[in-house]
Amino acid sequence: MKYWIVCLLLVLPLTASFAEDATKPDAQFKGEFIYLRDYGTDDIGYLSLPQEPPTAGIILVPDGHGIDSWLKITADVIAQKGYIVLVLDLYNGNANTEEKQVERMENDLMEKGVLDAMKTSTVFFQQSPRFKMDKVFVVGPGSMEHYLLAFAAQKKLSLNGLVVVNPSKPPVEDELKRVRYPVLFQLGEGSPVTSGLDAMVKNLGYQDLCEIKSVAKLDPKSRRLDEAQWQQVSDFMQKNSTEERKKGLLQSLKDIF
């Protein structure tokens, strides 16, 4: 199965692994579950807030493990870096550990439901009186790549960019063609996906829209995000948070479409 590190994800002391203690049953989570029915759907999400004024909103898209202890701690740690973090519940509260069950949960997802939930999360950041953010990013694992790229093809979203962590294969070219927002593909050093993805991006002329970054020692079976991975994600978010960058991308999109 394909693993990830949510897009932006990670924790406890920021050393080799952000989520070293994520499986502790006595973990004290800082976030809480909220209803999103006021923003378009009946979905719920795990919301974690920073202690300081936030710089952006981050939407974490879980793989088939669901919102487990590891992912909640991940959200809490990212929040303390200065972000409002919303983890979508795509699996009706189920948190899974068995690999076959994890894969089955992902396979049973309905695309419309996933995209509607993701859109609701952007509306939340756009319209919430308390948590309104003008900069929003989506982060998800390679196993959710299809949904992430399908979402990146939507028009008129309040969205600054997406991160796909550790995809196990290059995306379908037709999916990549429709991308309208900056995307960071984060791969393990020496990943067989790199050459095919790089060629596809160049063939489409999407070098300004899609970034491909590699990280040494990225274990394809790991669900953790280390400091090197986080730094790449952080750099990507900073780069795509400026008005100058937004204007340049709008012009690039006009040329492409």
* pLDDT tens digits for range 151-200: 999 998 989 999 999 998 889 999 999 999 999 999 988 899 999 999 99
Name the pLDDT band for 96 (thresholds 50, 70, 90): confident
Q: What is the mean pLDDT of residues 82-110?
A: 93
* pLDDT for residue 5: 37
Strand order in the sheet with 44-48: 32-35, 44-48, 83-88, 56-60, 136-141, 161-165, 183-188, 210-215
Q: What is the pLDDT of residue 27?
A: 56
pLDDT band for position 97 (50/70/90)?
A: confident
- With 0-12 / 13-18 / 19 or more C-beta atoms within 10 angstroms meaning exposed / middle / buried, residue 118 is buried
The arrangement of secondary structure in 32-256, i.e. its CATH architecture, is 3-Layer(aba) Sandwich (3.40)
Q: Which residue has the higher pLDDT, 189 or 58?
A: 58
Closest CA to 144 of 168, 126, 177: 168
Contact present, 9 and 78 (Cβ < 8 Å) = yes
Q: How confident is the model at residue 9 (pLDDT cuts 50, 70, 90)?
A: very low
DSSP bridge pairs for 186: 165, 213
Q: Which of 80-89, 134-143, 148-157, 242-251 has the lowest mean pLDDT?
A: 242-251
| Mean pLDDT confidence for 122-135 | 96
Residues 6+ apart with CB under 8 A from 36: 42, 43, 44, 45, 117, 120, 121, 124
Mean pLDDT score of the chain, rounded to an integer? Answer: 85
The pLDDT score that the predictor gives to residue 257 is 56
The pairing of strands 56-60 and 136-141 is parallel
From the number of C-beta atoms within 10 Å of its C-beta (0-12, 13-18, 19+), residue 24 rates as exposed
Q: Which pLDDT band, with edges at 50, 70 and 90, does 12 fall under?
A: very low
* CA-atom Rg of the chain in angstroms: 17
Q: Which of 228, 236, 151, 238 is nearest to 185 (CA)?
A: 236
pLDDT for the residue 87: 97
- SS3 of residue 25 by DSSP: coil
Give the pLDDT band (50/70/90) at residue 226. confident
Q: What is the pTM of this model?
A: 0.86
Q: How far apart are CA 20 and CA 145, in angstroms?
A: 25
